[in-house]
């Protein structure tokens, strides 16, 4: 990666800074991505959720812990922790 300096007018800087803040990214990353997109017009652009064809492609078995996004700890415990059996006492 090469280091360079770019001078931006106040309006452009604020727009880039705001976009970086909203995306939780650095200003440098936003500028790099924007330049890459502008300089490579053949690059496919994802603009709509329908373009993300891989979303929902997988299936998961969520059984009693639905949705897993909320009950992930219970789902992991069920999948990975050894099941405990009640102990039998000898008399």
Q: By 3-state DSSP, what share of the chain in percent is helix, strand and coil, each rounded to 5?
A: 45, 0, 55
Confidence of residue 49 (pLDDT cuts 50, 70, 90): low
First-to-last CA distance in the chain? 74
**Predicted confidence band at 3 (pLDDT cuts at 50, 70, 90)?**
confident
Share above pLDDT 90 across residues of the chain, in percent, rounded to a whole number? 26
Give the pLDDT mean for 46-75.
66
3-class SS of residue 84: coil
């Amino acid at each position: 990666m090469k280091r360079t300096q770019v001078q931006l007018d106040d309006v452009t800087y604020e727009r880039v800074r705001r976009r970086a803040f909203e995306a939780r990214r650095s200003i440098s990353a936003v500028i790099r991505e924007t330049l890459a997109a502008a300089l490579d017009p053949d690059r496919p652009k994802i603009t709509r959720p329908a373009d993300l064809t891989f979303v929902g492609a997988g299936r998961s078995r969520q059984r009693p812990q639905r949705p897993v996004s909320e009950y992930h700890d219970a789902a992991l415990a069920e999948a990975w922790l050894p099941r405990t059996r009640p102990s039998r006492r000898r008399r």
